[in-house]
Amino acid sequence: MQIHNRIVARFADGRVVKGITQDFSVTRDYFHVIPPEPGVPPVRVGISSLKAVFFVKDHVGNKDYSEKKAFDKLVPGRKLQVVFKDGETLVGASTAYDAARPGFFMTPADPKSNNDRIFVVARAVRAVAFISG
């Protein structure tokens, strides 16, 4: 049985690719995104060109929802704030953050976020700070 992950791949240059992936792995340099439109071929995505990969509940989301930047409940991992080079800030927790690695997974602080988890590409990050609360 193959796992189908709904994702939004956000590139460092601002481009966005939405679809599903069956072959994302932190140990590979690339993966494929199958667009939601029928008949459109898969897109090969190089991880080094990305800002982050958002594993989402759905591709629509709620543009009017403002994601909380604080923790409502206990979450596993170290709480951190990630500031990307483009100025976007994410707050979440990670059990695998290591500054020496090319990227890491984090879980958003807001349980109502459309993001289940996020793979953050280290080269797109300006700063990571550990936070309390």
Considering the domain architecture, whether residues 46 and 84 belong to the same structural domain is answered as no
pTM listed for this prediction: 0.91
Residue 63 lies in a domain: no
Per DSSP, the residues of 87-119 read S-EEEEEESS--TTSSEEEEEES-TTSSEEEEE
**Which pLDDT belongs to residue 2?**
55
| pLDDT tens series, the chain, 133 aa | 456 799 999 999 999 999 999 999 999 999 999 998 889 999 999 999 999 999 999 887 777 777 777 777 677 889 999 999 999 999 999 998 998 899 999 999 988 889 999 999 999 999 999 998 6
Residue 61 lies in a domain: no
Considering the domain architecture, whether residues 52 and 83 belong to the same structural domain is answered as no
Q: How many domains does the chain have?
A: 2
What are the start-end ranges of the E strands in the chain?
5-11, 16-21, 30-33, 43-46, 50-56, 78-84, 89-94, 103-108, 115-121, 125-130
**Which pLDDT belongs to residue 37?**
87
Residue 70 lies in a domain: no
- Positive or negative, the CA dihedral 85, 17, 80, 88 is positive
Residue 126 lies in a domain: yes
Provide the domain limits for residue 107: 78-130
Considering the domain architecture, whether residues 83 and 50 belong to the same structural domain is answered as no
Considering the domain architecture, whether residues 89 and 124 belong to the same structural domain is answered as yes
CATH number of 89's domain: 2.30.30.100
Residue 69 lies in a domain: no
